[in-house]
Structure 1
């Protein structure tokens, strides 16, 4: 694993291949194929390279890891460590890292990439399950037996034992560890064999040994829907959640030339929207109700959906989040028209367009000139970093509440 390469870029940055560098044409070809299979939504193909868009996260192609980081500042030499931690923090708050055990200390740790966070947490969860004892379950098994056991399957018995009449092809129950939960965890471990770094390799091999008698089956999305979490297997929830992320985002080399590909990509606009909602929900007072992605009929079969709606005893406020850098007091016409509709439809006196802050100041509330209704909208800017650290979510939430209420 010593030959693994690592490239960090920011959203909307360009990356061109060079056969003498880390990013080569076969990596580029694999990314093009992957992007085409997903309606070209993740990035734009340019001459001999890629221009990233609003999706952040990580793409691992064989021995190359490309991490795409968010950035909300104008500094060309922005601190990549800081923005990696910002992304990790947002993923934690939005429960995209589906474990509660990740601590502030872990967030400050220097990870090779955000995939390493998932890998480390996954292996730690499985190690915990192994130490506690992997559970057994009843399952149906069909096989040839030397004695009649369970139910005889007549058609299969004739087909299998036309010559060997001393055998019986039966269906019977077996009580062991070779069941769906362990099939999924084992498949996740097998995927990691291609991608983990040296520091996790020994732990991975130890866990693979514990699963040596587990069947290697093809795991698809529909199998996750069959899992029923109950009192007996509740401890498996966290590991299964991470396994689902790893397995469903893995593309074997069959589709991408000679390279296995693992992706973990998030739309930064959606992530920003959910992050703001979750911190407002967490730090609101009892007098404020915060709701997310309200949806109502708008025209024919079309619906209208503001990001966040705040309600107090007397007033309604709408917040629409935008992950983009704009100049203060200069919103787009489309954004303002959108907010005007929210004002009317939700009977809100005030609405807020909320952007990440670089060096802008909030605008004053501007009034929409329509029937003297007094509907107002302002531009607000919030910084989620504090110099070289992540700003506390309590402080971010308080700043946002102060802008509108």
Structure 2
């Protein structure tokens, strides 16, 4: 199966050579990408279908069409001096880690060999992890629940359905309209697991994964086949009796629904499992900050606040609602607002404003006005051009306010002491203002 890899915001030229993609495959992937909700009005939100090359945008993931796949990996700076295959392998590993944190999954990436990270696409790695988890959990037994059944039986079982008895069996009283509860494996959770295994079998190109998915499909042979669009997600209740299925349920949702964005093209187009990096970075950082601040007396809210910038004169209806990425409170008071931005900033030597957009600053000034917080932070991914360590790079006082606005970065390529680094970043003492925002 031809497999192509391109990094976020990079180009993949058309052609038959190494580091190129044949034009017919490029056309397929571009058409599939246009069916994504991320495509936007112009249709190029995922891939720009240029005259000479495909250019990836700020969306990562995998597109499969026919016998070919295109993998878009994040633009994360890894250790220099390694081959592109080794660097892409390291990026895949970091992306899987980010997904695991964002989706609250426990994924042991150590069981996957370095060679597998290099040779397998993101989709095949996720399929392998799913198969491992599902096989291990099924060894403890398939979950069962009592479901209500209605059957016509020669002897009474459960309760007699009187209306049905006297409408259907008036002339044949030898049959009884029974209503009873039956402990069954044919429940919503198992139907979702079967649908995920069948879907992945249709797109996996790795023989080992195909074999394991066929075995899993056989295990679910007696479970009803339900189209993905008809699956009853709301009927699944995760409680103490089936807690071990919580992560598998989240992974099935990842494959079958659009949590960050999973789309299935129609008319044989293929499958696209895509993630908007802005949303993924925000969820990843937010969950880690919540862990890092545990036990400090501070509480963390993601996408909280939701105050309005304006109020209509003729009604109480608010206009232009705000949704700060991360709110940090001590008691009931908001002490810190953090907004994450998946974009590269420059060093202060290259640009005093570090490439921070005016719109981002205006957004933070609105937060200062609405949430009355003493501290605001714009948090970006770190890269080597900013220095060896992730830290607060600049602090400014907002004109006319006591509020401090910071620009800071966190290195997502380095998982060592991540919680401690975030904790140190957030628990700084109140900084002194160094200049004004004009």
1:381 counterpart = 2:417 = no
1:122 counterpart = 2:135 = no
1:93 counterpart = 2:124 = no
SS of 2:344's partner is coil
Shift in Å at residue 224 of structure 1?
0.3
Written as runs of structure 1 = structure 2, the 5 A alignment for 1:150-229 is 153=164, 173=180, 174-196=182-204, 197-220=206-229, 223-229=232-238
Q: Distance in 2 between matches of 1:69 and 1:209?
A: 33
Q: With structure 2 as the length reference, what TM-score do the two structures score?
A: 0.74
Q: Over residues 244-288 of structure 1, what are the superposed CA-to-partner deviations in whole Å (9 max), with x where a residue is unaligned?
A: 222235766xx5333432x32222112222222222222226445
1:103 counterpart = 2:108 = yes
Partner of residue 334 from structure 1, selected from 345, 359, 377: 359
Count of matched residue positions in the alignment of Structure 1 and Structure 2: 387
What are the ranges of 5 or more consecutive residues in structure 2 without an aligned counterpart? 16-20, 312-317, 431-438
In structure 1, the residue matched to 2:436 is none
Partner of residue 294 from structure 1, selected from 297, 304, 310: 304
1:54 counterpart = 2:58 = yes
SS of 2:222's partner is coil
Distance of aligned partners of 1:9 and 1:290 in 2 relative to their CA distance in 1, 3 Å threshold:
farther
Q: Is the 8 A contact 1:351 1:404 kept in 2?
A: no
Q: Over residues 172-231 of structure 1, what are the superposed CA-to-partner deviations in whole Å (9 max), with x where a residue is unaligned?
A: 555443333322222222112212321222222222222222221223366101222344
User: More deviation in 7-16 or 18-27?
Assistant: 18-27
1:306 counterpart = 2:324 = yes
User: More deviation in 42-51 or 333-342?
Assistant: 42-51
In structure 1, the residue matched to 2:268 is 258
Q: Distance in 2 between matches of 1:36 and 1:348?
A: 33
Q: With structure 1 as the length reference, what TM-score do the two structures score?
A: 0.79
Q: Is the 8 A contact 2:378 2:406 kept in 1?
A: yes
1:345 counterpart = 2:393 = no
Q: Is the 8 A contact 2:334 2:371 kept in 1?
A: no
Partner of residue 354 from structure 1, selected from 368, 379, 386: 379
Partner of residue 369 from structure 1, selected from 399, 422, 427: 399
Written as runs of structure 1 = structure 2, the 5 A alignment for 1:66-81 is 66-73=70-77, 79-81=87-89
Q: Distance in 2 between matches of 1:256 and 1:220?
A: 13
In structure 2, the residue matched to 1:10 is 7
Q: Over residues 79-101 of structure 1, what are the superposed CA-to-partner deviations in whole Å (9 max), with x where a residue is unaligned?
A: 2122212211111222x2x532x
Shift in Å at residue 319 of structure 1?
2.2
In structure 1, the residue matched to 2:315 is none
What is the RMSD of the two structures over their aligned residues, measured on CA atoms? 3.9
In structure 1, the residue matched to 2:342 is 323
Q: Over residues 25-44 of structure 1, what are the superposed CA-to-partner deviations in whole Å (9 max), with x where a residue is unaligned?
A: 33433333446887647414
Distance of aligned partners of 1:137 and 1:344 in 2 relative to their CA distance in 1, 3 Å threshold:
closer
